């Protein structure tokens, strides 16, 4: 709103101010008034920042042109001082106006009561022709612009803008005939009036900034003066193999504390900080490197545009670099492959990323769950091949392939009541066996690799006392413990006890019961001596 030299922040605030002003014309709500309070506070910070920047600009003018005897430079330096004094006086008067507004509204600070004050006391104070404040405000702004034009030889536009001075309102029949004071303060609550004055105050300071820049050019202060001269070394490569030559470029770098460069990469602003060892203001470029196409050496050439803006001049350079394809290292404990339908714990690491490793994973051919540590995942395959894609901070690193094998069948084991294995070759003596415990035991490797999935249970089995081809007794058992007490008197040497599992399940790491296919190979026969 102050001219072509407005910063993006000032333009944003100006636009917010116009939008909220329009909202005021439609409806004054507490929410709208709160937004004006936020804008007023933001404008206050902008006012302080601009004042400091202008003071630094004046100091630069005095330093560069203060010792010159050339009439044009001396005049520029003197006028720069007068501009600063004129602005300080004008700014002080405006601060007094804002204090008077608070006083008229019955407050001494911006608080909840003031924000919700819909009274017209301040509007009347500024519009009533019998009251001095409105007329003096307008004349102060006009006088400021008049003196500024005289000191700089420039033609600054009016600060006391009526609707006719603003294209957005010039054609509006509701506003076109209004004067500056009526347009700015009519039907305006206290907080909106304060924000309006603060907005004009930022324009005053922006006019001063433009004026000092013009005078700096005349005084020679636009020249960049460096007080820090630093030798710099830029190596051709940060990694050198033993026996290979080390190459680097050595040059001079310089900086000035009076300069405030703006820096971007690919159009994105980056923070500019003073480097402690050198005192140079450096932009901190940081982004996640990514690439999709790698050459035979695993490298991908990338680039970004670096821009440094200094005193309205832009210095550009395209920076090239190589992205190395990270090596994904996968460890799966003792399991070289994965087991179908099981919770296979896998550690997926990318050593080259170090502490920047913050992975995310996706899987094809199965489900994947994050573990309790970075890089640790649980893969539950549903197909014979599983592909796991590894990404870091949104950038795809690579994809790992896993083979999947079926769960090995359990062995059906018969034990006595004391937990000892039954000798299936020699059997047991007739009448000496009172009970059996039949277990489905997992394969040892399977049990070691995925212990939470290696729990088998026999839910149903047929138990037969057989003599030759005849069935002497038969029962169906739903537990793994078999009571043979009632059969002891019936057992004869040459008989056999036949156990045929009918239903076997595997308890998965999720707590689900997964059926296990049983066959004739799972039948256990115990001879009776």
Res 26: pLDDT:
41
Domains and CATH numbers, the chain: 8-219 (no CATH), 228-324 (no CATH), 329-405 (2.60.40), 411-527 (no CATH)
Which residues are registered as beta bridge partners of 366? 381
Spatial separation of the C-alpha atoms in residues 453 and 340, rounded to whole Å: 10
In angstroms, rounded to a whole number, what is the distance separating the alpha carbons of residues 63 and 60? 5
The arithmetic mean of pLDDT across residues 54-74, rounded, is 84
Range 239-260 burial, b when 16+ CB lie within 10 A, else e? eeeeeeeeeeeeeeeebbebee
DSSP state of 179: -
Q: Which residue is associated with the tokens 């994050």? A: 370
Beta bridge partners of 462: 476, 500
pLDDT of residue 252: 81
Listed in sequence order, the residues at least 6 apart from 128 whose beta carbon sits closer than 8 Å to its beta carbon are 134
Q: Give the sheet arrangement for strand 395-405, strand by strand.
A: 338-339, 395-405, 385-392, 359-364
pTM: 0.44
Q: What is the DSSP string of 187-214?
A: T--HHHHHHHHHHHHHHHHHHHHHHHHH
pLDDT above 80: residue 516: yes
Confidence check: pLDDT of 207 > 80: yes
Burial of 410: CB neighbours in 10 Å, binned 0-12, 13-18, 19+: buried
The mean per-residue pLDDT over the stretch 79-91 comes to 94
User: What is the 3-class SS of 343-374, one letter each residue?
Assistant: CEEEEEECHHHHHHCCEEEEEECEEEEECCCC
Supply the pLDDT for residue 237.
67
Q: Which residue has the higher pLDDT, 240 or 417?
A: 417
What gap in Å lies between CA 235 and CA 479, rounded to an integer?
Answer: 75
Distance CA 73, CA 33 (A): 48
DSSP 386-404: EEEEEEETTEEEEEEEEEE
Mean pLDDT score across all residues of the chain = 84
Which tens digits make up the pLDDT trace of 387-419? 999 988 888 888 889 999 999 999 999 999 888
Chain segment 97-122, per-residue pLDDT in tens: 999 999 988 888 888 888 888 888 88
Helix (H, G, I), strand (E, B) or coil at 331: strand
pLDDT tens, 364-389? 999 999 988 888 999 999 999 999 99
- How far is C-alpha 386 from the chain's CA centre? 30
**Residue 16 pLDDT > 70, yes or no?**
no
First to last CA, the chain: 108
CA distance 253 to 77: 30
| Six-digit token string for 281 | 């203001």
Predicted pLDDT of residue 226: 67
* 176 against 214, higher pLDDT: 214
Considering only residues 246 and 375, tell me which one the structure prediction assigns the higher pLDDT.
375
Residue 12 reports pLDDT greater than 70: no
Q: Has residue 30 got a pLDDT over 70?
A: no
CB 417 within 8 A of CB 435: yes
**383 HSE (CA, 13 A, CB side):** 12
Q: What percent of the chain has pLDDT over 70?
A: 88
Q: Is 401 left (phi over 0), alpha (psi -120 to 50) or beta?
A: beta
**pLDDT for residue 434:** 87
d(CA 396, CA 411): 44
pLDDT band at 474 (very low <50, low <70, confident <90, very high): very high
On the question of pLDDT at 476 being above 90, the answer is: yes
What average pLDDT does the segment 62-79 reach?
84
Query: What is the distance between the alpha carbons of residues 438 and 433, in angstroms, rounded to a whole number?
Result: 14
Check residue 25 and give its pLDDT: 44
Helix orientation angle between 71-104 and 30-65, rounded to the nearest 10 degrees: 160
Extract the tokens encoding 38.
């936020």
CA distance 394 to 290: 9
User: Higher confidence at residue 257 or residue 329?
Assistant: 329
Confidence of residue 482 (pLDDT cuts 50, 70, 90): very high
Least confident of 32-41, 140-149, 236-245, 490-499: 236-245
| Model pLDDT, residue 452 | 92
Q: Give the model confidence (pLDDT) of 275-327 as tens digits.
A: 877 778 888 888 777 777 878 767 788 888 999 987 667 889 898 877 777 76
Residue 43: the pLDDT is 87
Is 27 a residue whose pLDDT tops 50?
A: no
| Secondary structure percentages of the chain, helix, strand, coil, to 5 | 35, 30, 35
Radius of gyration of the chain (CA): 43
Q: Write the DSSP string, 262-317.
A: EEEETTEE--EEE-TTT--EEE--------S---TTSEEEEEEEEEEEETTEEEEE
Confidence of residue 431 (pLDDT cuts 50, 70, 90): confident
Q: How far apart are CA 295 and CA 274, in angstroms?
A: 38
Q: What is the mean pLDDT of residues 212-219?
A: 85
Q: Which residue has the higher pLDDT, 177 or 451?
A: 451
Separation between Cα atoms, residue 228 and residue 237, nearest integer Å: 27
């Amino acid at each position: 709103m102050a001219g072509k030299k407005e910063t993006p922040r000032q333009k944003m605030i100006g636009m917010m101010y116009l939008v909220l002003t329009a909202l005021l014309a439609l409806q004054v709500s507490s929410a709208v008034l709160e937004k004006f309070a936020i804008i007023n506070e933001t404008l206050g910070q902008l006012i302080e920042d601009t004042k400091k920047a202008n003071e630094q600009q004046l100091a630069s003018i005095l330093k560069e042109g203060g010792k010159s005897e050339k009439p044009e430079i001396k005049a520029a330096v003197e006028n720069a001082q007068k501009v600063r004094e004129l602005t300080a006086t004008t700014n002080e008067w405006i601060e007094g106006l804002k204090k008077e507004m608070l006083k008229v509204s019955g407050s001494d600070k911006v608080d909840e009561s003031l924000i919700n004050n819909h009274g017209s006391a301040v509007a009347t104070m500024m519009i009533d022709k019998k009251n001095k404040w409105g007329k003096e405000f307008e004349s102060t702004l006009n006088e400021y612009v008049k003196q500024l034009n005289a000191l700089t030889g420039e033609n600054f536009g009016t600060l006391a803008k009526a609707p006719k001075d603003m294209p957005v309102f010039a054609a509006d029949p509701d506003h076109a005939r209004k004067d500056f004071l009526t347009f700015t303060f009519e039907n305006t609550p206290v907080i909106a009036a304060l924000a309006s004055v603060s907005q004009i105050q930022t324009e005053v300071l922006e006019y001063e900034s433009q004026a000092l820049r013009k005078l700096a050019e005349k005084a020679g202060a636009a020249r960049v003066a460096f007080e820090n001269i630093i030798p710099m070394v830029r190596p051709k490569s940060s990694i050198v193999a033993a026996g290979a030559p080390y190459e680097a470029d050595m040059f001079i770098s310089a900086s000035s504390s009076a300069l405030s460069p703006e820096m971007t990469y690919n159009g994105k602003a980056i923070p500019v900080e003073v480097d402690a060892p050198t005192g140079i203001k450096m932009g901190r470029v940081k982004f996640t490197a990514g690439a999709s196409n790698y050459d035979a050496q695993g490298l991908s050439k990338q680039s970004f545009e670096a821009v440094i803006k200094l005193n309205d001049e832009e210095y550009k350079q395209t920076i090239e670099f190589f992205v190395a394809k990270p090596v994904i290292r996968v460890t799966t404990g003792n399991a070289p492959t994965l087991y179908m339908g099981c919770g296979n714990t896998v550690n997926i690491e990318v050593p080259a990323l170090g502490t920047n490793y913050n992975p995310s994973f996706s899987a094809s051919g199965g489900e994947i769950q994050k573990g309790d540590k970075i890089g640790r995942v649980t893969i539950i395959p549903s197909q014979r091949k599983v592909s796991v894609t590894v990404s870091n901070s949104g950038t795809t690193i690579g994809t790992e392939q896993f083979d999947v094998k079926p769960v090995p069948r359990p062995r059906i084991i018969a034990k006595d009541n004391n937990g000892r294995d039954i000798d299936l070759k020699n059997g047991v003596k007739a009448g000496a066996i009172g009970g059996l415990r039949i277990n489905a035991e997992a394969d040892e490797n399977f049990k070691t690799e995925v212990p939470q999935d290696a729990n088998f249970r026999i839910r149903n089995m047929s138990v037969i006392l057989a003599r030759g081809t005849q069935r002497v007794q038969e029962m169906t058992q739903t537990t793994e413990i078999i009571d043979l007490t009632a059969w002891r008197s019936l057992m004869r040497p040459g008989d056999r006890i036949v156990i045929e599992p009918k239903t076997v399940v595997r308890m998965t790491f999720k707590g689900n019961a997964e059926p296990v296919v049983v066959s004739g190979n799972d039948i256990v026969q115990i001879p009776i001596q």
